[in-house]
Structures are given as structure tokens and as C-alpha cells.
């Protein structure tokens, strides 16, 4: 089942600059930076709230690192802004299958590896009222 919002994914031109904005403006703590080669992005995660448990919510900042990445194409078309919403689930495989049976197309089928050692898939925005939706299971 889906239990929480894991993160909001925001595409930006410069992750470092965006991190500084979220730290200075809202006081969010930078907890993780990673280049995800398979998706052609550099990611920074900022934790929202101070619980410190593994199930916090995050702002995920994404900067393309390759011109041929999907996020690069998205940035060219839309400019910086909100890119996707990610729901946390304890079993992304089961959740993906359940939604597939409802006619919602997963983009990674089966789910693949995300940042932080997570297991993820995305759901096609055309099947989700225009919202690119991610499902995340923590390691
Ligand atoms: Co994400």
C-alpha cells in the first residue's frame, strides 16, 4: 500500500544553486547527493522535517548531466519546475502490478534501482491525470 509522500521531484538547471535556495529559504537539510548515471541526472535530497527516520519526506532536486537524458529534454521544453511526485510504498513490485491491472502503465517494468538504494518505478502521466508519478520502496 501507499503510505506517504516520499518526495517531490523538481528539475533545475543547477543543483547547487537550488540546494542553497531551499536551505536559505526554508531551512531544509541536505541529506544526500548522487549522480544517477542510468537516468542522466545529478540529484540532491533535502529532508523536510526533523524526524531523521528513513521515512521522512524530501524535496528532490534534479539537474541533467547529459544532453540526451529525459530530464534534459524535459528542462528544454518546460524550464525549471515541478517534475514528478513520489509516493512511498513498502512493496513497489506489488503496487506496480496492482496498478497495471487497473490499466496504469509503469515506465520501469519491472521496477528498477533508484538513488539511495531504493527500488522505484514511474507511472505514465497520461494514465495519472497528467502527473508523472513515482513509486518508491526504501532499502
Ligand atoms: Co524521484
Q: Which of 39, 63, 84, 95 is catalytic?
A: 84
Active-site residue, 83 included: no
Fold of the 2-137 domain: 2,3-Dihydroxybiphenyl 1,2-Dioxygenase; domain 1 (3.10.180)
pLDDT tens readout for residues 2-34: 888 999 999 999 999 999 999 999 999 999 999
Pairing of strands 57-64, 81-89: unpaired
**pLDDT above 60 (res 136):** yes
What gap in Å lies between CA 115 and CA 61, rounded to an integer? 12
Active-site residue, 39 included: no
Q: Is the pTM here over 0.85, yes or no?
A: yes
Measure Cα distances from 16 to 19, 61, 66, 69, 98 in Å: 5, 9, 17, 19, 38
Q: How confident is the model at residue 3, as a pLDDT?
A: 84
Active-site residue, 134 included: yes
Active-site residue, 43 included: yes
Amino acid at each position: 500500500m501507499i503510505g506517504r509522500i516520499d518526495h517531490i521531484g523538481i528539475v533545475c538547471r543547477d543543483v547547487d544553486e537550488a540546494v542553497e535556495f531551499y536551505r536559505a529559504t526554508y531551512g531544509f537539510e541536505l541529506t544526500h547527493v548522487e549522480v544517477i548515471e542510468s537516468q542522466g541526472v545529478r540529484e540532491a535530497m533535502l529532508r523536510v522535517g526533523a524526524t531523521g527516520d528513513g521515512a521522512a519526506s524530501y524535496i528532490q532536486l534534479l539537474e541533467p548531466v547529459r544532453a540526451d537524458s529525459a530530464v534534459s529534454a524535459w528542462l528544454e521544453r518546460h524550464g525549471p519546475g515541478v517534475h514528478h511526485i513520489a509516493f512511498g510504498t513498502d512493496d513497489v513490485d506489488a503496487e506496480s502490478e496492482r496498478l497495471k491491472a487497473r490499466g496504469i502503465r509503469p515506465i520501469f517494468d519491472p521496477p528498477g534501482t533508484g538513488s539511495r538504494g531504493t527500488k522505484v518505478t514511474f507511472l505514465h502521466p497520461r494514465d495519472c491525470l497528467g502527473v508523472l508519478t513515482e513509486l518508491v520502496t526504501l532499502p
